[in-house]
Structures are given as structure tokens and as C-alpha cells.
Amino acid sequence: MFSGAKRAKAGAVRMIYVYILRSQEDADRYYVGVTADLRARLEKHNAGDVPHTSKYAPWVVKTYIAFSDEKQAFAFEKYLKSPSGRAFAKKRL
């Protein structure tokens, strides 16, 4: 189970988001991640709480995709971090 997820109400579908952030300081800097709470995660990135992204804050959401299947979300995140996934994101997202 995704550690950052909150318990969903009975019968509710819990969504997992794969997101791409773009730095407002350096438009050529992007970050790909996965979370159950996109707003809270963006706040952490912009507050400097994520060491990998703190240097290029502030960040804005460029794209996000919601998944109901956690395994698919993590697989898509991994793909977006690969060379072919970066090319796909640059061209299509």
C-alpha cells in the first residue's frame, strides 16, 4: 500500500497521481513523482522539504494523471523517468 495514502471511505476509489512539475526558476527543469495527495506534495516541494527539488523551487504542476491502480501508477512513473518516457512527456504531455 502506498505509504502516503489516506484511508478511502468505504466504496470510494483511492486515486494515485503521477505528476510532472516544472520549475519556475529554470524552465528546463522538470520533476516526476507519484503521490496520493497532489496539493500537499506540491506544498512540500515548494517549501523546500524535498531535497531533490529544493534548489529549483518554486514548482508548478505541468501535468498529472490519476490512476486507480497503484501498480500502474508506479510503473508509469518509472516509465516517465526512462529516456523514452522523457521523450514521450516532452512531446505529448
pTM of structure: 0.86
Burial-class residue 61 by CB neighbours within 10 Å (0-12, 13-18, 19+).
middle
Q: Cβ(59)–Cβ(42) under 8 Å? A: yes
Question: What is the model's pLDDT at position 2?
Answer: 52
What local confidence, expressed as pLDDT, does residue 1 receive? 44
Per-residue pLDDT of the chain (93 residues; tens, 9 = 90+): 454 545 556 678 899 999 999 999 999 999 999 999 999 999 999 999 999 999 999 999 999 999 999 999 999 999 999 999 999 999 998
Which domains, and CATH codes, for the chain? Answer: 16-85 (3.40.1440.10)
Query: Tell me, what's the pLDDT at 13?
Result: 84
